[in-house]
Amino acid sequence: MLLLDACGHARYVWNLALEQRLMWERWKGPTPGYNGQAAQLTEARRASPWLAQGSQTVQQQALRDLDQAWRNFFAGTHARPTWRKRGRHEGFRVVGAQALRVRQDNRRWSSVLVPKVGWVAFRRSRDLPDFRSYRVTRDRSGRWHIAFAAIPDPIPGPGTGQVVGVDRGVAVAVALSDATMTSSAGLRAKEAERRLRLQRQLARQRKGSNRRSRTKAALARLAAREADRRKDWVEKTSTGLARRFDVIRVEDLNVCGMTCSARGTLEKPGRNVRAKAGLNRGVLAAGWGQLVTRLEQKAPGRVQRVDPAFTSLTCNACKAVDPRSRKNQADFECTSCGHQANADVNAARNIRDREPAVGRTVAARGDRATSARSVKREPQRARLLTVA
Ligand SMILES: [Zn+2]
DSSP-based three-state secondary structure for 104: strand
pLDDT given at position 347: 94
Q: Please give the Cα distance from 77 to 165 (Å, whole number).
A: 16
Residue range 77-103: average pLDDT?
A: 88
Task: Please say if the pLDDT value at position 279 is more than 80.
Answer: no
Task: Please say if the pLDDT value at position 255 is more than 70.
Answer: no
| CB under 5 Å of ion ligand 1: residues | 315, 317-318, 320, 334, 336-337, 339
pLDDT given at position 377: 33
Task: Please say if the pLDDT value at position 282 is more than 70.
Answer: no
Per-residue pLDDT tens for 308-334? 889 999 999 999 999 999 988 889 999
Task: Please say if the pLDDT value at position 158 is more than 90.
Answer: yes
Per-residue pLDDT tens for 22-31? 887 666 666 6
pLDDT given at position 309: 87
Task: Please say if the pLDDT value at position 273 is more than 80.
Answer: no
Record the pTM. 0.66
Give the pLDDT band of residue 20 (cuts 50, 70, 90).
confident
Residue range 212-216: average pLDDT?
A: 91
Please check whether residue 76 is in contact with residue 357, taking contact to mean a CB–CB distance below 8 angstroms.
no
Q: Please give the Cα distance from 126 to 231 (Å, whole number).
A: 17
Give the pLDDT band of residue 134 (cuts 50, 70, 90).
very high
Query: For residue 295, how far is its CA from the centre of ligand 1 (angstroms)?
Result: 31
- If 0-12 CB within 10 Å is exposed, 13-18 middle and 19+ buried, where does residue 206 land? exposed
pLDDT given at position 210: 93
Query: Any residues with CB less than 8 A from the CB of 165 and at least 6 apart, and which?
Result: 176, 177, 249, 250, 347, 348, 349, 350, 351, 352, 353, 354
Q: What is the DSSP string of 105-123?
A: -SSSEEEEEETTTEEEEEE
User: Which residue in 65, 90, 296, 344 is the catalytic one?
Assistant: 344
Task: Please say if the pLDDT value at position 92 is more than 50.
Answer: yes
Query: For residue 332, how far is its CA from the centre of ligand 1 (angstroms)?
Result: 10
Residue range 194-203: average pLDDT?
A: 94
**CA geometry: angle at 363 spanning 65 and 385, to 5°?**
25
For the chain, the residue count is 388
Query: For residue 349, how far is its CA from the centre of ligand 1 (angstroms)?
Result: 13
Per-residue pLDDT tens for 324-377? 999 888 899 999 999 999 999 999 999 999 988 654 433 333 333 333 333 333
Please check whether residue 123 is in contact with residue 108, taking contact to mean a CB–CB distance below 8 angstroms.
yes
Q: Are strands 181-182 and 174-176 parallel, antiparallel or unpaired?
A: antiparallel
Choice between 284 and 35, residue whose per-residue pLDDT is larger = 35
User: Which residue in 65, 167, 226, 307 is the catalytic one?
Assistant: 167
Choice between 317 and 383, residue whose per-residue pLDDT is larger = 317
Give the pLDDT band of residue 261 (cuts 50, 70, 90).
very low
User: Which residue in 65, 67, 90, 251 is the catalytic one?
Assistant: 251
Q: Please give the Cα distance from 55 to 99 (Å, whole number).
A: 13
Task: Please say if the pLDDT value at position 381 is more than 70.
Answer: no
- Told to judge if 344 belongs to the known catalytic residues of this protein, a careful annotator would answer yes
Residue range 32-46: average pLDDT?
A: 87
pLDDT given at position 27: 64
Query: For residue 314, how far is its CA from the centre of ligand 1 (angstroms)?
Result: 8
